[in-house]
Amino acid sequence: MTHRLAALVVVAVAASLAGCGPLADPDAGAAPVPAVTPAKPSPTPSAYSGLGDSVKDSGDIPDPCTLLSEAEVKSLTGRGIGQIDRDGAGPGDASRFCQWQQPGGQLAVFLARTTESDFAVETAEADPVEDVGEDAFALAGHLYVLYGTVSIDVYCRGDADDENLAKAKKIAKALMPRI
């Protein structure tokens, strides 16, 4: 079911990014639509999926709860899931979150639009993190990753700090091609 929902979200986002409207209701007897030749989209090197459905640089922020399956969360964190807290937000909201409550731990993912200059505002306590996203830093147990115009905040707890950070990096890397 989660895969079908994720596929539906991907199709909806792809359709909205491509400028397509909703499918016409065949019972509505719609009037003919004038022919319009839209600009042919060109592939961008920033789209990881190769399907042109990335919202890395524009489009609605996806629901993080749909980006990782329960099996993936269990595998990436090494813990089961007791409860999933969803944000209740909808398409067009500027930020989204999902939180997986786990026995002895927690995983939370926050996604929001940002700019490179806003993301670059670091505090003295932030530690730069290599090998994930375009820019990344760790602060107060959170891993912040810049991916295009999306700020990814991964909070993974339940283990030692260095292990939590290593897991957060794996989670961020799993999320990026799905955003």
Contacts of 138 (CB under 8 A, 6+ apart): 126, 127, 129, 144, 165, 168
The span from the CA of 63 to the CA of 59, in Å, is: 12
CA within 13 Å, CB half, 89 = 19
Amino acid at 17: L
Please report the pLDDT score of residue 76 as a whole number: 98
Please report the pLDDT score of residue 49 as a whole number: 40
CATH of 64-178, one of 1.20.1270, 3.30.460, 3.40.1000, 1.10.20: 3.40.1000
Residues of the chain with pLDDT under 70: 1-54, 56, 122-124
Number of helices (H), then strands (E), in the chain: 4, 7
Sign for the CA dihedral angle at 169, 172, 174, 176 comes to negative
What's the mean pLDDT when you consider all of the chain? 78
